[in-house]
Each structure stands twice: as structure tokens, then as C-alpha cells.
Amino acid sequence: MASVTFSPDDRYNAFITTLSGAETGPGRLSGIPVAVKDNISTRGIPTTCASRILTGYIPPYDAHVVTLLKREGAAIVGKTNMDEFGMGTTTENSAFGPTLNPADPTRVPGGSSGGSAAAVASGMVRMALGTDTGGSIRCPAAFCGIVGLKPTYGRVSRYGLIAYANSLEQIGPMARNVEDVSLLMEVLTIHDPRDSTTIACPYRHTPDPTIRGLKIGVPEEFFGEGVDPRVASVVWEAITRLEAQGAEIVTCRMPSMAFALAAYYVTCTSEASSNLARFDGVRYGPQADTRRTWHESFQEQRREGFGTEVRRRIMLGTFALSSGYYGKYYAKAQAARQQVRNDFLRLFRTVDVIAGPTMPTVAFRLGEKTDPLSMYLSDVLTVPANLAGVPAISVPCGTSEGLPVGLQVMGQWFRDENVIDVAAACEQGVSS
């Protein structure tokens, strides 16, 4: 067992914890430095979720994906910064300060996997793990100009992932090119019986940019209100290049986009309210004031331990699940979620994949998005894939205002190989 020396010039605040002498062994990832998002459990290494409430927490076990990385010889060199508990689109909601975008340090890297994206984009690591609940891999991939894949829900084990919204989130690979994302995907898809939501569906595929005859659906709603015309233009150019490579472009409609974002935020905040109830600050985190009653201490611990955005989402979710409101909000959100899934089912009867912009704008400036609603609206193009559980990838397709623009490709359930191939074709088109 050898070790990899890792001394990053972390001017972008991409890491929360770094490991100077990361161990590496034989395997497909031997000697390759890999960063891991800090909501994925690592045995003996602090795992914070970028939150003060987990101060002092050191997991006694590895997440399944971390075990797989080690089995293939990867050198895990550090834990990356993120929006606290995965709640955000900028990586500004971190107890450890914001991460900066290597493409322009005055801009956000996207979130919530912004630290992983910045570590890859800056060249500090070749690959990284992120997590995606509503776009948290694809958003920073688009903003930082790298490749990021949200696999089909259930294809990668979530064992050891500190939960935010169980029915939506998925661990996935991030890298500077499609080939490395595909390689990391091969490593991650070994079945894990400890996660009952996963199925045995290993990924064994070499990216193939030959897409002649492939039908690509382009929903009109992905180029509607709120999408920067300059971003839309860059994405359409990329789609046109795919057409020139032999793909058939089919314009289509996805009416459920009108309520997908609302359905997502009711669902994810409700699940967050339930999942984060366990964090009481007693076993780790800020020291409790034992002179107070349990209720007073519990209230103070959570107020001091959680950041503003986490508290906001917990309260929203608690309200949506409360007596008298469950049917008005949560139940309706699940009905709307089914409509999103139905739209994908309908479209996939006539097209192989669906394409559009990953994000409606390029990376915004640090501190620019202070209104929560405007921040939530930034997720409008990424959340449908999580609601339906389909695979989705963001691949660089050009620039606008000198900043990266990502093309998002969504595919049919457990056909992650298709979105990888289209991303490879896009990558080839950009480089040629």
C-alpha cells in the first residue's frame, strides 16, 4: 500500500478536510486523487455536512461508495465543501465559508457539490464524488465547466450518505471529461444489499460518441421564461452540432414543468424535516447548556447548530407535514411528482433522450442571490430528473460572457449509458 502526497493550493476553499498522505493500492483508480463530498461517511475522517451541528463527528464506517473507491486503489485526498446538508445552489450556505468558482473567483461554483466541482475544475483532483437531490451535481458541473452525472435513482448505493431527502438524492461522479465520469460510474455501481432502494444493475460501458439515428427530445419549456437568451443560444448551438453528428432532434412539450419546482420543494423540505429531526446536538456539536431544560437546550442547539437555510427548509417541511396541511401540500406534491414521471414516460415512447440547458443562467456573483425564492427558481431545469428518478448529466457545451454553459441530457431509467454517449458526442463536438 503506497501513499499519495496531497498539498492543494486551495485558494477556492474547495476542501473542508484534506489528507496529506492518502493511501492508494492496486486497481482501476490506483494513484488517482479523488475528493469526496463532506456528506458522505468516511471512517476515521470528520464528516461535517458543512454544518456546525456535526462538529466533532467522525464516522466509524465508510459509505459503500467510499469502500468501492478504496477497493479500486483510489487515493481519497479530502472532503469537499458544500451547502450545509446539501441545501443550496451556490456553496455559500456553509459553516466553513463559501467556495469560489475556478472559472471566475468572483462567482459561485454552484451547489450543493460546489467544493467537489471546484476541486476538479481547478485541477487539484482528477475526479470527485458529489450528491444530487435537485441538481447538486449538475449545477456546479455546469457553472464550473466540468462533467457531472446524476445516475438513475437506485443504481448507486446511498448507504453512508447523510440523508437530506431520501427519495430524491443520489451519489454520482464528477470529472473533467466524460471518459473519467464513465470510469468512476463503473466503480460505483456494485450492488449493496444494505440499501434497499438499490438494484443490481452494474454499469459496464465505454463512451461511444456515435449517435447517428438517436432521437433527442427538446422540450419547449426548457427554453422558456427565466432562461437567459444567451445561455439558450449556446445550448441550441450544441444541439445543432448533435444533429450534424447524425442525431434526430424532436421538439416536444413537458407541461408538468409548470409545477415541478413546487412539487420538488414541498417534497424535499418535508423529507428534510423528518431526516434532520435526529440532530439534537447532544452526542456531537456545540456543548449543551445542562442548566437548562431539555426543551430549551434542544431548541438552542438546533438554532446555533443549523444555518439559516437549513432552519428555513426544516420549518417549511414541518409545516407541509403538519395536521390539516398534509393533504393540501405534501399529498398534492406527490400527485404532481407523478405527473412529471408521466411526462417522461410519454416522451420516452418517441425519443431516446431529452436535452436542454442545465442551468437557466451562467454562474452568478458571490452574494448576488440573497432572496430564497430567486435561488430556488435556479433549480427549475434540474429538479424534474430527481422527481422522476431518471439519469441526467451536465456536460460543457460552450461559454457565455466568458463563463461555462452546460448541456443537460436526461435519459430513460437505468439507461445511463445513453446519456453518457450523448455527452461524449457533445464533448467531441465542442473540441472539434
Grid cell in block for residue 58: 467522525
Question: Which residue in 136, 157, 182, 378 is the catalytic one?
Answer: 136
Compute CA 107 distance to the chain's CA centroid, rounded to the nearest angstrom.
18
Q: Is 210 strand, coil or helix?
A: coil
Please tell me the distance from the alpha carbon of residue 416 to that of residue 395, in angstroms, as a whole number. 14
Q: Give φ, ψ of 272 to 5 degrees.
A: -65, -40
Question: Which residue in 37, 70, 150, 369 is the catalytic one?
Answer: 37
In the beta sheet, which residues pair with residue 396?
Answer: 406
Has 150 been annotated as catalytic? no
Question: Which residue in 41, 94, 112, 270 is the catalytic one?
Answer: 112
Grid cell in block for residue 412: 430513460
Q: Are 353 and 393 in contact (CB under 8 A)?
A: no
Has 394 been annotated as catalytic? no
Grid cell in block for residue 156: 448507486
Please tell me the distance from the alpha carbon of residue 276 to that of residue 280, in angstroms, as a whole number. 9
Has 112 been annotated as catalytic? yes
Q: Which of 96, 153, 89 is nearest to 359 (CA)?
A: 89
Q: Give φ, ψ of 244 to 5 degrees.
A: -65, -25
Residue 332 burial by CB count (10 A; 0-12/13-18/19+): exposed, middle or buried? middle
Q: Which of 373, 348, 375, 349 is nearest to 361 (CA)?
A: 375
Active site residues: 37, 112, 136
